[in-house]
A and B are shown apart, each in its own frame.
Chain A
Amino acid sequence: MDAPPPPPPESSPTAVTAAANVADDPLTSPYASMNSYCHDLSALQDLACRGAWRTIVDKVARSRSLSLLSKPHEHLIYLTFNLLSLVKLRRYPDAQQELRTLDDDLDSKQYLYDSYPDHYPNHKSGSMVPFALRWLHAHLPFTLGDRQLALDRLYTLLHFIRDKKLSRNLDSTSEVSLTLWKKREQFVVNTIISHHLSQKEFKVCLSLLRAEISKNEDPLLVSKLGYVQMQYGDLDGAKRSFEVVEKMVMGSDSENVELKNLLSRNKALKYLVGKDYVSAVREYEECIERDGSDVVAINNKALCLMYLRDLSDSIKVLESALERVPTVALNETIVVNLCSMYELAHVNHADIKKTLSTWIARVAPDDFDNSCTRI
């Protein structure tokens, strides 16, 4: 299937022209609500927020078989949700199949609003491809084992954004649109940095991050630079980066809990690399008191306790977080740490890991990767 199917014969020409005439009438405008814009879209979004990816795959299949989707953009949005769900569920070959139903060229005419004047009268020309679809198209080869192709596609996507979208002036586009494209540029750069970071190509990461920081002086970005430096061992460099973050935050909103916790967590890392685990624990406890669902602080505090020879308490910290704030604490990394602690603490760790695994199965979203329990 190449192009989205034509609208079902039920939609009469009069309905379409009516839409054309009252495009901005709040009662009949396609933008009156999420669902008027796209069939049952709020349900899809709700399912995604709940991590019910299997349900989404079923829903998309049903909507297609019952021909519930009438407009081309609806098909694309449903396809995007389907593709994302399959990737979240780690069903990569199925995801590739889904992607194959599209034209190789996402810039093809069939994905433009003005190719369907009946559906989108008076609509400005442009692409109806959701940006996430482009990103998923670039990302998918990595999931199938071809990291290099994925990186190539990501760099191509970056150039596409810079050359085709960001270079326009405000006559041909809106400010809302330009802002969105700037965010998308950052999104793609971050994905690229993430790839290089997991391959331990630190110098590339440093250079890309520094370029980002010069465009956008964000304390979180500078903190990430510090984390990269710590990761390969440049402790002095990391300390200097954290000092810059402190200077940046000092002027701004002093009541912002997130920024306060960021500073505390950075300080805790400095103590930790200096092997002063007691002070690190103290910093993390301050974070947790300010924000009980700061899982980074909770996780890192547990590790510090372990390095302080207190395995029992480190286990308790993680277990209690899972109980107390499961929707943020149920994270593969935290489970990996907890299972490592179980393996150390118990000769017969299989039992306790099974208990954990059973609990996870009840509570976890569809995309949770159970292999982290190493059962």
Chain B
Amino acid sequence: MSGAGGGAQQAVHSLAFRVMRLCRPTLHVDTAPLKFDPCDILFGEDLFDDPIAASHLPRLLSSQSNTSVSDPSDLSYRSRFLLHHPTDSLGFPGLLVLPQAFGAIYLGETFCSYISINNSSNFEVRDVIIKAEIQTERQRIVLLDTSKTPVESIRAGGRYDFIVEHDVKELGAHTLVCTALYSDGDSERKYLPQFFKFIVSNPLSVRTKVRNVKETTFLEACIENHTKANLYMDQVEFEPAQHWSVTALKTADHALEHNLLMGETFKEPVLIRSGGGIYNYLYELKFSSPHSGQVKVEGSNILGKLQITWRTNLGEPGRLQTQHIVGNPITRKEIELDAVEIPPSIILDKPFLVSLKLINLTERVLGPFEVWLSESDLLNEKAVMVNGLQTMTLGEAQAFSSLKFQLNLIATKHGIQKISGITVFDTVEKKTYSSLLELEAICRYMWTHSD
């Protein structure tokens, strides 16, 4: 998987670049090491049920040359045939393997590469200025530049190596440009450029949903894995914006087992499957304003950001953070409607008074107002209606103070009925406030019917 790359190769060069992506190695897995216990091949599986056979077993086995597998004088390949330890059959000895292909590269990862300049000529080259750069659509990032201290010489057949690292922060086409400016065997100054292209893709997508339940805001974040590897979610943290506090809500771990040996309570690792696997996170957010009584600032509502750190083979890390996650826009409450007094029981077809209070929560004068009960959406007639003039006029409400008024109502149906649709209209600012208050009342017949 080392590459020679593309480049202007008109001149014959003494030097050549060899490049290999150096992400972390993997541990080798041999699915079937084909190593056996001699008893499983040499003897019938039930042979040692027979006591006579069982008594001969130790002698028969020891008659085989039983030298240790790692005896250097043993020139056989028995270690490829016989199990030395029962765990050998896992085929997972802890052998590291170099990356065998360039692989895919994703935003948030670190691009690491071994670069080797070989002098394959028969002459020494001198004063070598080496540069390595990453070029993208937007920028050029210099990873290595030996202009100030050129490599004095690379002998015939020799090599100069370096390792470069670059945190990938852009999507799309990237080019690793390696250049060498050197004096060859004829003291001619030569220039060798080589290009290695790769594409950076998006590893994850994060979908969020914000829900408000009374004073609490809940944030659901769904992370989807678009890579070709399973991602181990090392850390997923929500960083709240100013004045917000966050609690991560986790499910109860059903498979919690306390293993005495391992001395810990085992938690299932969060591993998101490659190619479309998802995992959901839930956060509870609370707004804590520094000024007591002050409600939330009007306008767009930034909750914070999600910081994600994932890992793949041997801990190869990747890091991303989302853009600002916005909550539902908050509109500051301007007026509130409270019930002051409702008669305990209401008699059908007899008018009754409901005392209400309109509170002005703003710092300016509001009103005058008009109050009415809106038309019911239902085809049925409303159970409770205004008795008399359908629209009531109220005066102004001063800043941070309230207006008391009474609604004259009448009930036309018995039973538990809703008094709904109370609508307040600000005649100056032309604003309508509906659904500020809903009441319930029990309406009885005149002669007490026990229903």
Residues of chain A at the chain B interface (Cβ within 8 Å): 23-24, 29, 31, 33-34, 37-38, 41-42, 45, 48-51, 73, 76-77, 80-81, 84, 87-88, 113, 123-132, 134-135, 139, 142-143, 172-174, 176-177, 180, 183-184, 186-187, 190-191, 193-195, 197-198, 200, 202-203, 206, 210, 213-214, 217-218, 220-224, 227-235, 237, 240-241, 244, 265, 269, 272-273, 291-296, 299-300, 303, 306-307, 309-312, 325, 327-328, 330-331, 333-334, 336-337, 340-341, 343-348, 365, 367
Contacts and interface: CB of A to CB of B under 8 A. Distances in A.
Contact of A265 (B45, B48, B94): B94
Contacts of A237: 269
Contacts of A299: 95-96
Given A38-B42, A87-B34, A183 B86 contact: yes
A27 B20 CA distance: 66
B45 A129 contact: yes
Contact of A217 (B4, B37, B46, B261): B261
Nearest to A348: B120
Contacts of A221: 87
B97 A336 contact: yes
Interface string B379-423: 000000000000000000000000000000000000000000000
Contacts of B94: 223, 227, 265, 269, 296, 300
Interface stretch (B57-65, B131-139, B173-181, B217-225): B57-65
B436 interface: no
Nearest to B81: A48
B29 interface: yes
A372 to B, nearest CB: 10
A51 B27 CA distance: 25
Given A123-B50, A230-B315, A336-B100, A135 B76 contact: no
B118 A127 contact: no
B54 A190 contact: no
B212 to A, nearest CB: 35
B266 interface: yes
B248 interface: no
A311 B161 contact: yes
B40 interface: yes
7 contacts: A42-B64, A129-B45, A176-B48, A194-B92, A230-B314, A328-B70, A345-B118
B327 interface: no
B80 A142 contact: no
A190 B50 contact: no
Query: Which of A187, A191, A334 has the most CB atoms of chain B within a 10 A radius of its CB?
Result: A187
A306 B32 contact: no
Given A31-B52, A174-B54, A365-B77, A344 B64 contact: no
B192 to A, nearest CB: 12
B341 interface: no
Contact of A113 (B38, B40, B44): B44
Contacts of A310: 161
B54 A176 contact: yes
Interface in B183-236: 230-232, 234
B118 A347 contact: yes
Interface of B: 1-2, 4, 16, 18, 20, 22, 24-34, 36-54, 56-57, 60, 63-64, 69-70, 72, 74-82, 85-87, 89-98, 100, 114, 116, 118, 120, 159, 161-163, 230-232, 234, 257, 259, 261-264, 266, 268-269, 271, 274, 310-316
Contact of B41 (A132, A311, A331): A132
Contacts of B95: 295-296, 299-300, 331, 333-334
A232 B271 contact: yes
Contacts of A200: 230, 274
A41 B161 contact: no
A367 B4 CA distance: 33
Given A34-B64, A45-B64, A327 B92 contact: no
Q: Which of the listed residues A176, A195, A296 has the most CB atoms from chain B within 10 Å of its own CB?
A: A176
A184 B72 CA distance: 29
Counting chain A CB atoms within 10 Å of each CB, the highest count among B85, B114, B314 belongs to B314
A227 B27 contact: yes
Contact of A340 (B29, B75, B98): B98
Contacts of A292: 72
B63 A33 contact: yes
B45 A130 contact: yes
Contacts of A234: 232, 234, 269, 311
A174 B262 CA distance: 33
A224 B76 contact: no
- Can you list the 6 inter-chain pairs with the closest CB atoms, starting with the nearest? A126-B46, A233-B311, A128-B44, A233-B232, A31-B56, A51-B77
B120 A191 contact: no
A24 B53 CA distance: 9
A176 B46 CA distance: 10
A220 B85 contact: yes
A137 to B, nearest CB: 13
Contacts of A218: 86-87
A173 B91 CA distance: 31
Nearest to B71: A293
B2 A81 contact: no
Contacts of A344: 2, 18, 20, 114, 116
Contacts of A340: 1-2, 20, 98, 100
A177 B161 contact: no
Nearest to B51: A174
B51 to A, nearest CB: 6
Contacts of B25: 303
B98 A306 contact: yes
Contacts of A327: 74-77, 79
B234 A134 contact: no
B91 A194 contact: yes
B271 A126 contact: no
Contacts of B29: 194, 197-198
Given A130-B40, A230-B315, A333-B95, A177 B261 contact: no
A293 B69 CA distance: 10
A166 B206 CA distance: 50
B80 A367 contact: yes
B261 A190 contact: no
B45 to A, nearest CB: 4
Contacts of B18: 343-347
Contact of B42 (A41, A87, A135, A197): A41
Contact of B79 (A126, A127, A328): A328
Nearest to B16: A347
Contacts of A265: 94
A177 B51 CA distance: 10
A10 B72 CA distance: 46
